[in-house]
């Protein structure tokens, strides 16, 4: 029996099966061997410390510096001239290449800047930046000092930034004057100021990278510091060796409530897992050019724009722009051709956006795409239609991989660097070594091959996965470990077929995925409920042809309210934009007479989603009032 213990697997004997089985039967040996890909100041003698936490801690006696592995070691090995990072800004029409030696110089100087501000091992630094090289430089500089970064996505508004600052209690915040969206400039500094006024945990140091295209600079505030000014006379800081189990970053992600979860990632396990993944999952090695078109504010950006490609000694493209509109739907093809990109990693929604505008991919015409060997997608389900279109126009394998902020790297994938497997559209292929993926029913019993259920991962989790939630062990246990003792509950539902292929079908909780961005409907409900005319509300994720899902709000008005539907909609849209951010893409508001509930008062969001998406409606036996559901079906079903 191989893989996950579910379904007959057929007699696979190839490199994948060997690696997978070794990772399960002799995990210590497997991961200590993988750990040799990393340079340690004290190499680990032990792999897993199962006792140290519920999910296990990796390499308990190892010491290393993640930044030194990403940069110094390549320079020391004589590769200082190799391109480390190519900044390609489609919104500005600018490009800049940093060699490994140049990037090391920038990072060690910015680490010197942070050190001079009193930042050291274990201190938190919030980074709120657009897709500019300084974002990656700030992250790596924190890693160099053993400080813990927490990057906040630039599309989040002040209140979301404040919530993250409040929780992480940073000593410094690093930002820029703003971001550049296709149709507008997004000034960050007013939001930073507002956010810092909302929290009692405002950091002592704020550093601002001035961008001439966006108004605002450090001069706007008496105590803020200018990035360029500080860098002009910065001292270089050397890498600080930290314990493998020390945190590298906290990345906040949406849970089912409005309060974001601070996913904690360690140094050693993460470095080992990412390094292993580049060669074995993505077939990317030193000297290859790799492009992950995500944002450093998301986990995909942390792992595959910044850390993994640099750990591998590859060249990473940091792209500031969109798949369409910057300037057109040929932008991705231009970047691939111009930089000789071997593999692109993006979200299916980006491919759908290109297809919508340029269905024949005619804008690919002038570009030489011959460097490209694979398209990898993640962040949301790769629907078979998009899979087929991308394969047809690109002429390369299109490979889905499934993972989460919590895991930090793929749970399931087609490991093309190890052993390419036949692709089944709709499946993200097989469990990655180290992940024991099982499908459980609601009582925690394994279901049969092909049956749908909750996707759970048997503990311990492999290296690189979360080690906890920042400052909240109870929530860590409650969110992930309590539902199925002995397992990590992913929150996704799906099935595993008789060949061991995993099909991820969607979230089984109130987290939604809008254009590859993970958002909480609970957070949006809290904002909508704050409107003075709203008695109660539900926000659900409904199908969207472009973005996969979009939020849709259903509102019951307070008795006596006379607000008209258009005004209410405008006000609610503005509120969500203001409190969560434009990225929520909250635009639909429907006024209803009542919300369907269970007898215990729980809103039947899943049933509502089935009505709106015109699926078969499954009515729970616990429904309080069937008439409410029937009225809603009549109103929404047409």
Q: Residue 23: which of ligand AMP, ligand COA, none does it interact with, CB under 5 to 8 A by kind?
A: none
Between the CA of residue 584 and those of 155, 349, 547, what are the distances in Å?
9, 15, 11
C-beta of 255: minimal distance to ligand COA in Å?
Answer: 18
Q: Is 411 in the site for ligand COA (CB under 6 A)?
A: no
Name the E strands within 500-581.
Answer: 502-507, 511-514, 517-520, 534-544, 548-557
Query: Which residue among 189, 583, 603, 632 contacts ligand COA (CB under 6 A)?
Result: 583
Smaller CB distance to ligand AMP: residue 150 or 405?
405
Q: Is 575 in the site for ligand COA (CB under 6 A)?
A: no
In 3-state terms the chain splits into helix, strand, coil percentages (rounded to 5) of 35, 25, 40
Phi then psi for 63, rounded to 5 degrees? -135, 140
Question: Closest by alpha carbon to 69, among 309, 294, 291?
Answer: 309
Beta bridge partners of 590: 554
573 SS3 class: helix
**Which helix (H) or strand (E) covers residue 86, if one does?**
strand 83-89
**Which helix (H) or strand (E) covers residue 525, if one does?**
helix 521-529
User: From CA 112, how far away is CA 98, in angstroms rounded?
Assistant: 19
Question: Closest by alpha carbon to 335, among 325, 320, 348, 347?
Answer: 320
Window contacting ligand COA (CB under 6 A); options: 92-100, 157-165, 578-586, 590-598: 578-586
C-beta of 50: minimal distance to ligand AMP in Å?
Answer: 25
C-beta of 365: minimal distance to ligand COA in Å?
Answer: 21
How many degrees, rounded to 5, is the angle at CA 365 between CA 360 and CA 371? 110
Q: Residue 518: which of ligand COA, ligand AMP, none does it interact with, CB under 5 to 8 A by kind?
A: ligand AMP
Smaller CB distance to ligand AMP: residue 261 or 275?
261
Measured N-to-C along each axis, helices 565-579 and 158-168 cross at an angle, to the nearest 10 degrees, of: 40
Smaller CB distance to ligand COA: residue 242 or 539?
539
Phi then psi for 88, rounded to 5 degrees? -125, 105
Smaller CB distance to ligand AMP: residue 20 or 488?
488
- Which residues 6+ apart lie within 8 Å of 68 measured at CB? 39, 144, 239
Tokens of 198: 């909302």
Q: Is 347 in the site for ligand COA (CB under 6 A)?
A: yes
Q: 512-541: which residues touch ligand COA (CB under 6 A)? A: 515-517
Q: Residue 438: which of ligand AMP, ligand COA, none does it interact with, CB under 5 to 8 A by kind?
A: none
346 alpha-carbon distance from chain centroid: 11
C-beta of 539: minimal distance to ligand AMP in Å?
Answer: 17
27 alpha-carbon distance from chain centroid: 26
Phi then psi for 487, rounded to 5 degrees? -130, 155
Q: Is 258 in the site for ligand COA (CB under 6 A)?
A: no
Phi then psi for 532, rounded to 5 degrees? -65, -20
How many degrees, rounded to 5, is the angle at CA 537 between CA 531 and CA 538? 135
C-beta of 445: minimal distance to ligand AMP in Å?
Answer: 22
Smaller CB distance to ligand COA: residue 72 or 320?
320
The contact pattern for ligand COA, residues 546-565, with x = CB under 6 A and - = no contact, is: x-------------------
Query: Which residue among 32, 324, 512, 629 contacts ligand COA (CB under 6 A)?
Result: 324
Q: How far apart are the first and last CA of the chain?
A: 49
Beta pairing, strands 548-557 & 534-544: antiparallel
Q: Residue 160: which of ligand AMP, ligand COA, none does it interact with, CB under 5 to 8 A by kind?
A: none
C-beta of 401: minimal distance to ligand COA in Å?
Answer: 10
Smaller CB distance to ligand AMP: residue 58 or 403?
403
Query: Which residue among 15, 116, 582, 623 contacts ligand COA (CB under 6 A)?
Result: 582
Residue identified by tokens 């690093």 is 174
C-beta of 401: minimal distance to ligand AMP in Å?
Answer: 6
- CB 353 within 8 Å of CB 326: no
C-beta of 317: minimal distance to ligand COA in Å?
Answer: 13
Q: Residue 404: which of ligand COA, ligand AMP, none does it interact with, CB under 5 to 8 A by kind?
A: ligand AMP
C-beta of 320: minimal distance to ligand COA in Å?
Answer: 9
Q: Is 323 in the site for ligand COA (CB under 6 A)?
A: yes
Between the CA of residue 616 and those of 97, 225, 399, what are the distances in Å?
53, 57, 31
User: From CA 631, how far away is CA 65, in angstroms rounded?
Assistant: 60
- CB 84 within 8 Å of CB 100: yes
- CB 164 within 8 Å of CB 126: yes
Query: Which residue among 63, 144, 322, 436 contacts ligand COA (CB under 6 A)?
Result: 322
C-beta of 30: minimal distance to ligand AMP in Å?
Answer: 24
**Which helix (H) or strand (E) covers residue 345, if one does?**
strand 343-346
Size of the site for ligand COA (CB under 6 A): 27
C-beta of 180: minimal distance to ligand AMP in Å?
Answer: 23
Smaller CB distance to ligand COA: residue 74 or 339?
339
C-beta of 403: minimal distance to ligand COA in Å?
Answer: 10
Q: Is 146 in the site for ligand COA (CB under 6 A)?
A: no
Smaller CB distance to ligand AMP: residue 300 or 538?
300
- Which residues 6+ apart lie within 8 Å of 444 measured at CB? 483, 484, 485, 487
Which residues contact ligand AMP (rule: CB under 6 A)?
253, 298-299, 378-382, 400-405, 428, 491-492, 504, 507, 513, 518
268 alpha-carbon distance from chain centroid: 20
Q: Residue 179: which of ligand COA, ligand AMP, none does it interact with, CB under 5 to 8 A by kind?
A: ligand COA
Q: Residue 418: which of ligand COA, ligand AMP, none does it interact with, CB under 5 to 8 A by kind?
A: none
Query: Which residue among 298, 435, 480, 484 contacts ligand COA (CB under 6 A)?
Result: 298
Smaller CB distance to ligand COA: residue 34 or 527?
527
Q: 348-377: which residues touch ligand COA (CB under 6 A)? A: 349-350, 353
Q: Residue 465: which of ligand AMP, ligand COA, none does it interact with, CB under 5 to 8 A by kind?
A: none
Q: Residue 172: which of ligand COA, ligand AMP, none does it interact with, CB under 5 to 8 A by kind?
A: none
Smaller CB distance to ligand AMP: residue 228 or 545?
545
Query: For 446, which DSSP code?
Result: B
Between the CA of residue 499 and those of 315, 402, 446, 494, what are the distances in Å?
36, 17, 16, 15
Smaller CB distance to ligand AMP: residue 87 or 402?
402
Residues that bind ligand COA (CB under 6 A): 154-155, 179, 181, 186, 293-295, 298, 300, 322-324, 346-347, 349-350, 353, 378-379, 515-517, 546, 582-583, 585
């Amino acid at each position: 029996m191989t893989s996950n213990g579910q379904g007959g697997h057929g007699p696979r004997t190839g490199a994948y099966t060997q690696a997978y089985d070794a990772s399960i039967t002799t995990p210590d040996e497997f991961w200590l061997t993988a750990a040799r890909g990393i340079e340690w100041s004290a190499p680990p003698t032990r792999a897993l410390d199962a006792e140290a936490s519920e999910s296990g801690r990796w390499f308990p006696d190892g010491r290393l510096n993640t930044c030194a592995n990403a940069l110094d070691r390549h320079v020391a090995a004589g590769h200082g001239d190799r391109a480390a990072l190519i900044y390609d800004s489609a919104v500005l029409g600018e490009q800049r290449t940093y060699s490994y030696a140049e990037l090391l110089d920038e990072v060690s100087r910015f680490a010197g800047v942070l050190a001079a501000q009193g930042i050291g091992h274990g201190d938190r630094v919030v980074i709120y930046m657009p897709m500019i090289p300084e974002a990656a430089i700030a992250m790596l500089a924190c890693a160099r000092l053993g400080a813990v970064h927490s990057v906040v996505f630039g599309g989040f508004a002040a209140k979301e930034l404040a919530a993250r600052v409040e929780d992480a209690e940073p000593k410094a915040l690093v930002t820029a004057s703003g971001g550049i969206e296709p149709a507008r400039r997004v000034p960050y500094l007013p939001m930073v100021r507002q956010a810092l006024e909302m929290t009692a945990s405002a950091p002592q140091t704020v550093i601002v990278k001035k961008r001439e295209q966006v108004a605002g600079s450090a001069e706007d505030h008496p105590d803020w510091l200018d990035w360029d000014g500080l860098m002009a006379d910065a001292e270089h800081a050397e890498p600080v060796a930290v314990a493998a189990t020390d945190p590298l970053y906290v990345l906040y992600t949406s849970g089912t409530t409005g309060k974001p979860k601070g996913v904690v990632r360690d140094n050693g396990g993460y470095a080992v897992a990412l390094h292993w993944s580049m060669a074995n999952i993505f077939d990317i090695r030193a000297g290859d050019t790799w492009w992950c078109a995500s944002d450093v504010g998301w986990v995909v950006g942390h792992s595959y724009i910044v850390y993994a490609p640099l750990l591998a000694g590859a060249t990473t493209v940091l792209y500031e722009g969109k798949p369409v509109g910057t300037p057109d739907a040929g932008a991705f093809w231009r970047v691939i051709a111009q930089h000789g990109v071997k593999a692109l990693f993006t979200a299916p929604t980006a491919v759908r956006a290109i297809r919508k505008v340029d269905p024949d991919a005619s804008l690919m015409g002038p570009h030489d795409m011959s460097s490209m060997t694979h398209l990898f997608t993640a962040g949301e389900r790769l629907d078979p239609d998009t899979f087929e279109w991308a394969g047809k126009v690109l002429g390369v394998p299109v490979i889905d991989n499934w993972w989460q902020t919590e895991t930090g790297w793929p749970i399931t994938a087609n490991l093309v660097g190890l052993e390419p497997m036949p692709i089944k559209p709709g499946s993200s292929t097989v469990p990655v070594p180290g992940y024991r993926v099982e499908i459980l029913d609601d009582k925690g019993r394994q279901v049969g091959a092909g049956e749908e259920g909750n996707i759970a991962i048997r503990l311990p989790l492999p290296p690189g996965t979360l080690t906890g939630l920042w400052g909240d062990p109870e929530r860590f246990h409650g969110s992930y470990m309590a539902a199925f003792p002995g397992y990590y509950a992913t929150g996704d539902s799906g099935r595993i077929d008789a060949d061991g292929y995993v099909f991820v079908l969607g979230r089984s909780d109130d987290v939604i995925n809008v254009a590859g961005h993970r958002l909480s409907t609970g957070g949006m409900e809290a904002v909508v409920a704050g409107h003075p005319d709203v008695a109660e509300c539900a926000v659900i994720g409904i199908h969207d042809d472009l973005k996969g899902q979009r939020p849709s709000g259903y509102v019951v008005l307070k008795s006596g309210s006379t607000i008209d539907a258009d005004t209410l909609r405008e006000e609610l849209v503005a509120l969500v934009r203001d409190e969560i951010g434009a990225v929520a893409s909250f635009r639909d508001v429907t006024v209803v007479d009542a919300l369907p509930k269970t007898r215990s008062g729980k809103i039947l969001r899943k049933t509502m989603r089935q009505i709106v998406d015109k699926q078969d409606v499954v009515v729970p036996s616990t429904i309080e009032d069937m008439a409410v559901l029937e009225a809603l079906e009549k109103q929404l079903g047409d």
